[in-house]
Amino acid sequence: MAESLEPKKIEFSKINGSSLGYFALVGIFAFLTALGIVAYALDRMYHLSGLSNTVPWGVVNAGIPYFIGLSAGSLIVSALAGVFKIKRFKVFSRIAAFFAAAYIVAAISSIVFDIGKLDHFANAVVYFNSSSIFSWNTLFYSSYFVICALYLLVQFEEMERLTRFFACLAVFWAVLVHSGTGAIYSFIYSRELYHSALTPPMFIVCATTSGLGLLIAKLYFTFKFTRRDLEVRLLRELGLIFAGLTAVLGYMLAVEGLEKGYIPAVAPATQFVYFNPYHGIFWSFWLLVIFGIIIPFLIVVYPRTGFDPRFLSLAGVLHAAMVMAERFFLIVPGQVYPSEYLPGYEGESLHTLEGYIVSYTPTIFEWLQLVGLLSGVFLAFVVAAKLLPIIPKKAVVEE
C-alpha cells in the first residue's frame, strides 16, 4: 500500500503563555524593539549613520527588500495548500500567513525610517506619479498587507472557498510586489551595477528561499518550546524545496555575474565587487555564496543532516542571514562605485566625489534599527500566539 502523507484533522489552539520563559522571551523581544526605536530617534537627531549624499541608501534600506522577501516567502509557503493543493502543509498556513503580514509591516516601517516624516510618506499617495515605480510600490505594499490580513482572517473563520481565493490572490500579489521592488533597482539604467533584467525574478527566488529557510527554523523552535508534535518529514519536504530553490538562486547569481563581466563597459565595476577583497562588498557576496548557498544546500541534501530538524533550522537561518548580505551587496555597490557621466572622457571634480570610489560602513545605530524591526516581528508573533489560535496542536502525517 502506498504511503499517504495527508495530514490528520488539524486543530489550532492558543498557547498558555504563563511560564517564566514566555515572559522572558516577550521581554527580550520588547527590549530589542525599543532599542531599535531609540537608535532611530538618535540617528534622526544627530545623524549617527554612515550615509552621505553619495550613498543615501544603506543597511536600513537593504532591510526593505529583505523584509518584503521574507514576507513573500512565508506567504508562498502558506499558500501551498490553497494554490497547489498540497494539503499536508495546511498545518503551517496560519503561522506563515501571520509572518507574511508582520514582515510587510516591518518593510513599511523601514521605509518610514528612511523617509523620516510621515507626511513625506503620504506624498507618494497624494501626489501619485504613474511613471514612478515608487508611487506604484506604495499602492502595492499597502494593498499587499490588506490581502495578507484578509487571508489570515478567512483562515480563522475556516472559509474554504475564500481561503483558496485569497491564497491565489496573495501569491499573485506577492510576486507582483517583489517584482516591483526588484524593478526599483533593475530599471536604473545609469548605474551599471543596478541595471539587470535578472533582478526581479532573482528577487522572487531569493524571497522564497529566505522566507522558507527562516520559516523552517521558526516552525522547529515554535513546536519545540510549545511541546507540540512536529513530523520531521514535513520539515524535510520544506527543506528539499528550499534546497532546490537555493540552487536556482546560485545559478542566477552566476549568470548575472558572467553577463556583467563580459560587458566591456561594466567589466571594471564587476571586478571591483567580485574580486576586490579590500572592500566589504566583496565579502558580502562571497559570504552569501559560501554560507548562504553552498553550505545550506549541502546540509539539506546530506542524509545525516537533512533529516535532522536542528540542522535544517541551521541551514535556514544561515541562508536567511546571508540573504541580508545579498541585499547589502545589491544596494550599496551601485552607489559606492562611480557612474560614467561622460563616456570616453576623464572627469575631474574639486568639490564632489563624482568619479571616485567612495566608502560606506554601517554604524551600530543602523544595525540596531534593523534588529529592532526584526525583533518587532517576533514580538508580534509571540504575543499573537497567546491571543489567537495560530499554532496547530500537532503537525503529523497519517501512515
CATH classification of the domain holding 268: 1.20.1630.10
* Residue at 207 is within a domain: yes
pLDDT of res. 224: 92
Alpha-carbon torsion, ordered 282, 286, 288, 293, to 10 deg: 160
Closest CA to 236 of 3, 4, 2, 5: 5
Assign 119 a pLDDT band (cuts: 50, 70, 90).
confident
**Which domain range does residue 66 map to?**
59-337
pLDDT in tens, 382-393: 999 999 999 998
Say yes or no to pLDDT of 348 above 60.
Answer: no
Phi and psi of 12, rounded to 5°?
Answer: -100, 150
Count of CA atoms in the C-beta half-sphere (13 A) of 108: 20
Say yes or no to pLDDT of 336 above 70.
Answer: no
- In this predicted model, which residue has the larger pLDDT, 265 or 399? 265
* Residue at 236 is within a domain: yes
pLDDT of res. 268: 77
* Residue at 159 is within a domain: yes
- Residue type present at position 242: F
Tell the burial category of 257 from Cβ atoms under 10 Å away from its Cβ (0-12, 13-18, 19+). Answer: middle
* The total number of structural domains that make up the chain: 1
Within a 10 A sphere around the Cβ of 122, how many other Cβ atoms?
A: 12
* Residue at 385 is within a domain: no
- In this predicted model, which residue has the larger pLDDT, 90 or 320? 320
The pTM of this model reads 0.88
* Residue at 34 is within a domain: no
Assign 3 a pLDDT band (cuts: 50, 70, 90).
very low
pLDDT in tens, 55-80: 788 888 888 889 988 998 888 888 87
* Residue at 346 is within a domain: no
Mean pLDDT on 146-151: 92
Say yes or no to pLDDT of 179 above 70.
Answer: yes
Say yes or no to pLDDT of 153 above 50.
Answer: yes
